[in-house]
Amino acid sequence: MAAAIRSGSARRRARPAPTCRQRGFTYLGLLVLIAVIGWTLAATAEVWSTVQQRQREQELLFVGNQYREAIRQYYERSPAAAKRYPPTLADLLLDKRYPTVQRYLRQLYPDPMTSKPQWGLLRAPDGGIAGVYSLGGGVPFKIDQFEPRDAAFKGAHSYARWQFSYQIVGGAALQPDAANEDGESEQPFDAPADNADTGADG
């Protein structure tokens, strides 16, 4: 019995050590596994980034059209015979042309593509703001199947071409106000905004 035990122990001790070739295969397998894990993580991050950008695009469409509708209301409700565009975005929160409170937005929204309060501004011939556009860089994922109000965005190669403006038929061309793209940072994003439910329609 003891001899059998010693014989088994001897066979275990006599088992050959892994060769250099076997160790090389193990190392190669580990490198392949690490590469597969890295590729999977990179692909996941890219998908997540794409999802986030598409969400920001949807938010930009919503917010931009809130501004467009507010500008339309401000223009159409001008109390005098001569209609005017708002001089600043702040005037969409509180229209000082009326003795009573007139609001066309519940708040001034930041640019979803940059998360900053600054917007590119489209100036009307009277100097007022006729529209806004994003200052975010990049190329939109969405290039088709827009709502009719946003049909002009089809095929746009930059977010700056998504211009949310209200322009009267036959009116003069709007001009991007490059010099004032940062000017709206001093508008009342830092002022208390009354969120009463008297804002823009829809």
Helix residue spans in 116-170 (DSSP H): none
Q: Answer yes or no: is pLDDT of 17 > 60.
A: no
| Per-residue model confidence as pLDDT tens digits over 95-149 | 999 889 899 999 999 999 999 999 999 999 889 999 999 999 889 999 999 999 9
Rg of the chain in Å (alpha carbons): 31
159 within 8 A of 140, measured Cβ to Cβ:
yes
Neighbours of 177 (CB within 10 A): 16
Q: Answer yes or no: is pLDDT of 174 > 80.
A: no
Give Cβ neighbours of residue 132 (< 8 Å, ≥ 6 apart).
Answer: 64, 67, 68, 89, 119, 120, 121, 122, 163, 164, 165
Give Cβ neighbours of residue 156 (< 8 Å, ≥ 6 apart).
Answer: 140, 143, 162
DSSP secondary-structure letter at 102? -
> How much is the pLDDT for 185?
35
Q: Answer yes or no: is pLDDT of 47 > 90.
A: no
Q: What average pLDDT does the segment 43-50 reach?
A: 67
Q: What average pLDDT does the segment 16-42 reach?
A: 69
pLDDT grade, residue 176 (50/70/90)? Answer: confident
Q: Which residue's structure tokens are 């529209």?
A: 131
How many helices (H) does the chain have, and how many strands (E)? Answer: 2, 4
Give the chain's mean pLDDT. Answer: 78
> How much is the pLDDT for 188?
31
Q: Answer yes or no: is pLDDT of 68 > 70.
A: yes
Instruction: Give the whole-angstrom CA distance, residue 192 versus residue 138.
Output: 33
